[in-house]
Chain A
């Protein structure tokens, strides 16, 4: 199965890149063709990935293709494909969501002046993300990691004429870059100590040869990249701003796939990371903090996309908690289900936003959003899945994370996780209730009926598909578990503790109930309890002031601090010294020239004086 598999992998990953080049160079002026190219290529990728997944469903171990790269630079880096279960699963998820979102975008982006550009960037992203999924070495992962960041930057700032959009793109790039630098350094540490960057080698015996401290250090550094890309604490603030991009972009990049790349990397290097319990402890803590902070932010936001963005952060935090707790399957499974329902949430929201032209869900509710039947039903399903309501997919994956947390000796983590479950249910149904049970409906009839045109159909088709997946995916827990179990020798079966299941279920219902009480029931004033405590509200709404701190840091320390110092040093000290030297020389020239114009007798005297000096020099020279 060697060559067909390799060919399928190459097709799956590189076709979108070809589409990107073709669109950029040839079809910028032909939007229809661009879209067809892009969708066609990603469809082929999807088919290839499904075929690969099916082929390898029962395969005993990972399949690896590698070739020497950069050999002549003095580094020994192997690049190629690593088609193991995790990679293929991710490949399929990414290809599927990419395909759906691109189809959806046909409707959403219709008529945009940058339509071709949009599809070009989407293809670029698809290429990078698909390749990332099946990369065989850390360096290769880093390369595509950065390219994913680039496409994210380009897509967030897609509507570049909007200041906030370009600002958000820049912020996203720089903040993830900060994390990536840590990742980059981590790669160096690994390379210099293990001498190898292959994922399988690192997960295998190579890592055990590294000194423990170095291993912990490199794990922490690599985790820095995860923090940046998955918007974890403290680099979390770029993700809400990234919602400035078109909604399909948010659905694809900033919820379902790209931000999940961080978690994916964690899963990729799970055996490596788990060699360092200290590092795992740090990861657990960061995941927990991120999850809780983001949840609190989501509780007070009025922008529907931002709520989902916060929830993404929090869910990613939850995945990292699960992984860090040793629940490999739990994290990956939640990643899978989350991709489905989060994409669904965004795509549904996108329909509303596109239709009503606002991001404020209070506004949406007032405008009569429940008139759009398919999106309404889909978004409720997705929100329920997010909240962990059985029997939707989110329920199953959350349960497995809870059981992983329950397996830890310290119950604090489980409690935090449960608190997260409660908050999630609360904020997601806050949105639902506000949207669909508004206090007043302004234009009941105007927009209520669903439009019926090709664009709308292109948008709703993916919704239906994703909703189906969300409903059904949970029942595939066992097969997926078995599938993933094929690749790892470590214990995937965390001890089952039933009470955590029940507690999670109860808490999610409680959150839902609280949301109903405050927002849903007839006559509710639709003001959350947090909003009644102004300081807390402000803290949450200002995102725990993280952005202020960063803003101050960049402004005071970097811009007006170091940068100012460097610039002043250049101007005043270095150039000052040089100009002073030059000026001094010219001044010396003036003096020298003046001395040449003195009366002739003084000149004769000078000659004589020099001669006398030279004569004396003869006697003193020997001393």
Chain B
């Protein structure tokens, strides 16, 4: 064990925070999706580290699935967003305010 688990967890927490920050602060739908991707990946890091700690493969499996799900997510999300961009010409989430 070179890197203690706590360090990995801290790293992943920081990454999670960055992801949240990105999703919350950038007024661009694409960047929000990216931020959320970062959040997913931060979880992946934690899983990998934990898999090392518990000496089993479940963490690793998780990561594989996360990659797959993230890919789905991007495809679905981007599809909707791009479609919306074509209709409205805007990536600004503030412009999507019809529903109230």
Q: How far is the CA of A604 from the CA of B97 in the complex (A)?
A: 15
Q: How far is the CA of A599 from the CA of B25 in the complex (A)?
A: 11
CB distance from B28 to the nearest CB of A (A): 10
Q: What secondary structure prevails in chain A residues at the interface with B?
A: helix
A140 to chain B, nearest CB (A): 74
In contact, A601 and B100 (Cβ under 8 angstroms): no
Contact A605–B24 (Cβ < 8 Å)? yes
Q: Are B32 and A597 in contact (CB under 8 A)?
A: no
Contact A604 B23 (CB under 8 A): yes
Find out whether the CB atom of B93 lies under 8 angstroms from the CB atom of A599. Answer: yes
| Contact with B93, one of A597, A600, A608 (Cβ below 8 angstroms) | A600
Chain A residues in 8 Å Cβ range of B94: 599
Q: Is the CB of A601 within 8 A of B32?
A: yes
**Is B27 within 8 A of A601, CB to CB?**
yes
Q: Is B96 an interface residue (CB 8 A)?
A: yes
Complex alpha-carbon distance, A608 and B35, angstroms? 13
| Inter-chain contact A601/B97, CB cutoff 8 Å | no
| CB proximity to A under 8 Å, residues B20-67 | 20, 23-25, 27, 32
Whole-angstrom distance from the CB of B83 to the nearest CB of chain A?
Answer: 17
Closest-by-CB residue of A relative to B95 is A599
In the bound complex, what is the Cα–Cα distance between A601 and B32 (angstroms)?
Answer: 8
Closest to B25 in A: A601
Among B20, B96, B97, B99, the residue within 8 A (CB) of A608 is B20
Closest to B16 in A: A608
**A residues near B20, Cβ cutoff 8 Å:** 604, 608
Known A-B contacts A604-B23, A604-B24; A599 and B32 likewise in contact (beta carbons under 8 Å) = no
Residues of B within 8 A of A599 (CB): 93-94, 97
Q: How far does the Cβ of B11 sit from chain A's closest Cβ, in whole Å?
A: 18
What residues of chain A lie closer than 8 Å to B96, measured between beta carbons? 600
A608 (CB) vs chain B CBs: closest residue = B20
User: Which listed residue (B23, B24, B27, B100) contacts A597, Cβ 8 A?
Assistant: B100
User: Whose C-beta in chain B lies nearest to the C-beta of A601?
Assistant: B24
In B53-100, the 8 Å CB interface with A consists of 93-94, 96-97, 99-100
CB contacts (< 8 Å) of A604 on chain B: these are 20, 23-24, 32
In the bound complex, do residue A608 and residue B100 qualify as a contact, i.e. CB atoms below 8 Å apart?
no
Most central of B20, B24, B27, B99 by chain A CB within 10 Å: B24
Docked pose: A169 CA to B94 CA in angstroms = 77
CA distance A601 to B94 in the complex (A): 8
B1-33 CB contact bits vs A (8 Å, 1 = yes)? Answer: 000000000000000000010011101000010
The distance in angstroms between the C-alpha atoms of A605 and B23, with both chains bound, is: 9
**Smallest CB–CB gap between B53 and chain A, Å?**
22
Q: List chain A residues, Cβ under 8 A from B97.
A: 597, 599
| Interface residues as binary, A570-592 with B (CB distance below 8 Å gives 1, 0 otherwise) | 00000000000000000000000
Give the residue name and chain of the B residue nearest to A604 (CB): B24
Binary flags per residue of A584-623, CB closer than 8 Å to B gives 1, else 0 = 0000000000000101110011001000000000000000
For residue B23, which residue of chain A has the nearest CB? A604
Distance, CA A597 to CA B97, complexed state (A): 8
Q: Which residues of chain B come closer than 8 Å to A605, judged between CB atoms? A: 24
Question: Chain A residues near B99 (CB, 8 Å)?
Answer: 597
Q: How far is A153 from B3 in the complex, measured between Cα atoms in Å? A: 103
Distance A605 CA – B97 CA, assembled complex (angstroms): 17
Residues in B neighbouring A600, C-beta threshold 8 A = 32, 93, 96
CB-nearest residue of chain A relative to B28? A601
* A604 and B33 alpha carbons, distance in the complex (Å): 12
A578→B85 CA distance, assembly (Å): 49
Nearest chain B residue, comparing its CB with the CB of A597:
B100
Minimum distance in angstroms from B80 CB to a CB of chain A: 13
Shortest CB-to-CB span from B8 to chain A, Å, is 19
Nearest CB on A from B39, distance (A): 10
In Å, the complex CA distance between A600 and B94 comes to: 7
Shortest Cβ distance from residue A601 to the other chain B in the assembled complex, whole angstroms: 5
Q: Which residues of A contact B24 (CB under 8 A)?
A: 601, 604-605, 608
B96 nearest CB across to chain A (Å): 7
List chain A residues, Cβ under 8 A from B93: 599-601
Q: How far is the CA of A608 from the CA of B100 in the complex (A)?
A: 22
Residue of A599, A600, A601, A604 with most partner-chain B CB within 10 A: A601
In Å, the complex CA distance between A600 and B23 comes to: 10
| Closest Cβ–Cβ distance, residue A619 to chain B (whole Å) | 16
CB-nearest residue of chain A to B26: A601
Q: Report the minimum CB–CB distance from A593 to chain B (whole Å).
A: 8
A124-142 vs B, CB cutoff 8 Å, 1 = contact: the mask equals 0000000000000000000
- Complex Cα distance, B2 from A531, in Å, reads 126
* Minimal Cβ-Cβ distance residue in A for B96: A600
Taking the closest CB of chain A, its distance from the CB of B35, in whole angstroms, is 9
Least distance between B30 CB and chain A CB atoms (Å): 13
Interchain nearest-CB distance for A410 vs B (Å): 92
Task: Write the chain A residue with the least CB distance to B32.
Answer: A601
Question: Residue of B at shortest CB range from A606?
Answer: B24
For residue B15, give the distance in angstroms from its CB to the closest CB of chain A: 14
Question: Which residues of B line the A interface, CB within 8 A?
Answer: 20, 23-25, 27, 32, 93-94, 96-97, 99-100
* Given A599-B93, A599-B97, A601-B24: 10 more A-B contacts, CB < 8 Å: A597-B99, A597-B100, A599-B94, A600-B32, A600-B93, A601-B23, A601-B25, A601-B27, A601-B93, A608-B24
- 20 A-B residue pairs with CB within 8 Å: A597-B97, A597-B100, A599-B93, A599-B94, A599-B97, A600-B93, A600-B96, A601-B23, A601-B24, A601-B25, A601-B27, A601-B32, A601-B93, A604-B20, A604-B23, A604-B24, A604-B32, A605-B24, A608-B20, A608-B24
Give A contacts to B, CB under 8 Å: 597, 599-601, 604-605, 608
| Nearest 3 pairs of A and B residues by beta carbon | A597-B100, A605-B24, A599-B94
